[in-house]
A and B are shown apart, each in its own frame.
Chain A
């Protein structure tokens, strides 16, 4: 299954399905809940055509403060209403001192933060009665780390029982920005917990910095890392994220096709088993 992040810019094209036909779509519940009118009608039309996975933006499970229970209640009824199979969030925080910052901020890789985050993930999983798939974010600076990123992730996953959303482009970007080996990093992760994969494009903005822009086609070395990665794991849904600089639908469809053929090749054996 290879899906595409649903955006208003190409809603019509996805509904018509002439130039682009993903296997499923993904969107942030924040962008679609509590709305009516034109976009609610469009949402219903696209949901008639495609299965949907949801990718949350603002639950902020790494926040120092309490989980926003009112918001969580909305999320729960939204996921139920639209029969959403996977709800993913981020190993990060986007809110502090009760102020949203609308971006995914890097966690301090520290034991107290890992314990706190794991407890909050558990709390949400208990409430929603489903595991969360937690995405390893791209980040541009470490924050007073006292453990490695991989140890931090392992600690959170083990203690919370959550699943992982592996964004292969994020790992590639992080490996470049923080000068580590992407495959060696990946090898330290609990890859049996990967439930979902993201793929996206990036942009190098200086000799030592790549930005995770979602505004370009997937780069070749990221395809290569993807191919290597999926060999290590069981088949899971794969999503193409494109948020800016939207190209022709044919170009997006080509990326979907390329991802699909890599999946077929690497997961052939699994498909025979299944």
Chain B
């Protein structure tokens, strides 16, 4: 009988080294070839993150970024079979481990969320919209929205700005709508005021503009003719951008 550990243990040692760099000796394994695997795999993971998060990566010093990807790959067991979903695990890991504070980048999770959402909306499975007609009453007919969208809220306006100093000055409540254009599949993003973000959320739940406006005072918002006009102008614009598809028949 062989005195070597069984194959399962050999595989665990081999992969543990690849992920963490912890020294290991496995019979028959040349150290330089083991290093080749570790290097090649780490670079694949890092490349994946850099193409998913180009803005994040460009705004973090190279050594810090390298440390982040190494930390993630060594300590997080990647569960996605699909490489394109791996960046979501990176984002989740950053949030769970409080990287905004750990790495002193208060807007990091906002930035990762924004960059990930663009990939997610671009790739998400097709969702058939409800039936709609092109005519209706903006105030009283429930609207049909393009279901391929995400509405995100941020503490920092990462959709407008990447410079640290400016971002930190603009801490607040920011909203961004990302949607996929039905025909060409392009992802559009639109910065929204808190009010329009609220309107969008309510429209998605099937509430009419009229009912949303009636509810507004409870949020401390004064409804004026101007607000109504601006809200409808926004919706008309979003119809042109194929986020509002039409009216419920």
Contacts and interface: CB of A to CB of B under 8 A. Distances in A.
Interface in B1-41: 2, 4, 6-8, 10-12, 14-16, 18-19, 26-30, 33-34, 36-37, 40-41
Given A38-B184, A71-B81, A101-B18, A142 B29 contact: yes
Contact of A98 (B4, B16, B36, B79): B79
B78 A108 contact: no
Contacts of B33: 140-141
B78 A37 contact: no
Interface in A23-40: 30-31, 33-40
B11 A93 contact: yes
Given A96-B11, A97-B12, A97-B15, A34 B82 contact: yes
A31 B80 CA distance: 12
A37 B44 contact: no
Contacts of A190: none
B185 interface: yes
B115 interface: no
Q: How big is the A interface, by class? A: 35 or more
A195 B7 CA distance: 28
Given A98-B77, A141-B33, A39 B123 contact: yes
Contact of B81 (A58, A63, A116): A58
A144 B11 contact: no
Nearest to B40: A103
A39 B12 CA distance: 36
A230 interface: no
B45 interface: yes
Contacts of B15: 96-97, 99, 101, 105
B189 interface: no
Contacts of A39: 123, 185
Contact of B6 (A30, A68, A112, A141): A112
A206 to B, nearest CB: 9
B96 interface: no
A143 B122 contact: no
A16 to B, nearest CB: 18
A105 B86 CA distance: 19
Contact of B7 (A34, A41, A100, A108): A108
A110 B80 CA distance: 29
Between B7, B36, B84, B123, the greatest number of chain A beta carbons within 10 A of the residue's beta carbon is seen for B7
Interface in A9-64: 30-31, 33-41, 57-58, 62-64
B148 interface: yes
A19 B12 CA distance: 47
A38 B79 CA distance: 25
Given A36-B125, A64-B12, A41 B185 contact: yes
Contacts of B82: 30-31, 33-34, 58
A116 B8 CA distance: 10
B122 to A, nearest CB: 6
A39 B124 CA distance: 10
A37 B29 contact: no
B83 interface: yes
Contact of A30 (B16, B44, B83): B83
Between A57, A68, A100, the greatest number of chain B beta carbons within 10 A of the residue's beta carbon is seen for A100
Given A96-B12, A105-B14, A146 B2 contact: yes
B71 to A, nearest CB: 14
B123 A108 contact: no
B123 A37 contact: yes
Given A38-B185, A99-B15, A116-B7, A145 B28 contact: yes
Contacts of B123: 35-37, 39
Contacts of B16: 97
B37 to A, nearest CB: 7
Interface of A: 30-31, 33-41, 57-58, 62-64, 68, 71, 93, 96-103, 105, 107-108, 110, 112-113, 116, 140-146
Given A36-B126, A39-B185, 20 more contacts: A30-B83, A37-B148, A38-B186, A62-B11, A64-B8, A71-B81, A97-B16, A99-B79, A100-B79, A100-B81, A105-B14, A107-B7, A108-B7, A108-B11, A110-B10, A113-B7, A141-B29, A141-B33, A143-B10, A144-B10
24 contacts: A30-B81, A34-B82, A35-B123, A63-B11, A64-B11, A64-B12, A96-B14, A97-B16, A98-B79, A99-B15, A99-B78, A100-B79, A101-B78, A102-B44, A102-B78, A105-B18, A107-B7, A108-B7, A108-B11, A112-B7, A140-B36, A141-B29, A143-B14, A144-B4
